[in-house]
């Protein structure tokens, strides 16, 4: 048997549905904030827990091989401080070693090459004097084609041949520098010998002798202390002979 629904009944049903929906929405609204508060409480507690953890547990341990200095000294543990100190000591040692080696190389270059009293300086001056001496050019040839080189070795490059030299000091404190090298010109080849002396208390060398030997020709002296002493004595009349290295040069 069908029931007729009157407008009043429809309004009543509608009111009931609205009340039910409103009740459900209110309950859901009360439930979800609780969930949000629960999650918020959980996240907050997690963050608080990580903040209380030791900072060293959240970063890579500092060792002598990976320390880049970004971690402050006050935040390092005792082993990490030891590692940083070891690394810095090693780096400082390398710097000191580099400075010492640089100074040693600079001193060697100055003494052997750039110093006015070095072997290289006297060798270069000797070659220039030979190229400017008329007697030497008559035997060797064109000065622009004269080359100077050291002792014969297995190296085919003449510039790489070492210049023979000795540096000694006698009982009187005089320093003796003796140099030997070879010269080659278009006409002939010769050998050069020099003996220089730096007397005790002096800063510069003096020539004892400096000559060129070419096979088949008389020796050419560019410096000869004995001849100079003899000439000075003859010009001075009763001048006393010069005494050098325990020998009287007349």
Q: Quote the CA–CA distance of 155 and 159 in Å, as a whole number.
A: 9
User: Is 207 within 8 Å of 194 (Cβ atoms)?
Assistant: yes
User: Is 64 within 8 Å of 83 (Cβ atoms)?
Assistant: yes
> What's residue 48's pLDDT?
45
C-alpha to C-alpha distances, 63 to 50, 55, 56, nearest whole angstrom: 24, 16, 13
Q: Which of these CATH numbers, 2.60.40, 3.10.450, 3.30.530, 1.25.40, describes 134-249?
A: 3.10.450
- What does the DSSP 8-state code read for residue 166? E
> What's residue 29's pLDDT?
53
Q: What is the pLDDT along the chain (250 residues), one digit of tens a residue?
A: 555 555 555 455 555 545 455 555 555 555 445 445 544 444 444 444 444 345 555 778 888 888 888 888 888 888 888 888 888 888 889 898 888 888 877 766 665 655 666 788 889 999 999 999 999 999 999 999 999 988 766 555 555 567 888 889 999 999 999 999 999 999 999 999 999 999 998 888 999 999 999 999 999 999 998 775 555 444 444 444 444 444 444 4
Q: Are strands 247-249 and 164-169 parallel, antiparallel or unpaired?
A: unpaired
Q: Quote the CA–CA distance of 143 and 151 in Å, as a whole number.
A: 21
Q: Quote the CA–CA distance of 233 and 250 in Å, as a whole number.
A: 7
The angle subtended at Cα 242 by Cα 237 and Cα 248, nearest 5°, is 110
CA gyration radius, the chain = 50
How many CA atoms are closer than 13 Å to the CA of 143, on its beta-carbon side? 11
> What's residue 110's pLDDT?
60
> What's residue 164's pLDDT?
86
């Amino acid at each position: 048997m069908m029931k007729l629904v009157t407008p009043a009944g429809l309004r009543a049903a509608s009111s009931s549905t609205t009340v039910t929906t409103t009740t459900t929405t209110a309950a859901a609204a009360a439930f979800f904030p609780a969930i949000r508060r629960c999650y918020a409480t959980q996240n907050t507690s997690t963050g608080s827990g990580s903040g209380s953890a030791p900072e060293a547990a959240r970063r890579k341990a500092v060792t002598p091989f990976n320390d880049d200095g970004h971690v402050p000294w006050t935040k390092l543990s005792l082993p990490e401080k030891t590692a940083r100190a070891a690394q810095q000591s090693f780096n400082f040692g390398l710097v000191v070693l580099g400075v010492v080696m640089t100074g040693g190389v600079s001193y060697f270059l100055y003494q052997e090459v750039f110093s006015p009293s070095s072997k290289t300086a006297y060798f270069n001056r000797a070659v220039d004097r030979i190229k400017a001496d008329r007697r030497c050019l008559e035997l060797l040839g064109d000065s622009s084609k004269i080359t100077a080189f050291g002792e014969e070795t297995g190296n085919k490059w003449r510039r790489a041949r070492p210049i023979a030299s000795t540096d000694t000091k006698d009982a009187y404190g005089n320093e003796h520098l003796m140099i030997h090298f070879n010269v080659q010109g278009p006409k002939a080849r010769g050998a050069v010998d020099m003996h220089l002396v730096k007397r005790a208390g002096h800063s510069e060398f003096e020539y004892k002798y400096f000559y060129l030997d070419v096979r088949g020709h008389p020796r050419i002296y560019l410096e000869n202390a004995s001849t100079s002493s003899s000439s000075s004595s003859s010009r001075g009349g009763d001048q006393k002979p010069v005494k050098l290295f325990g020998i009287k040069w007349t």
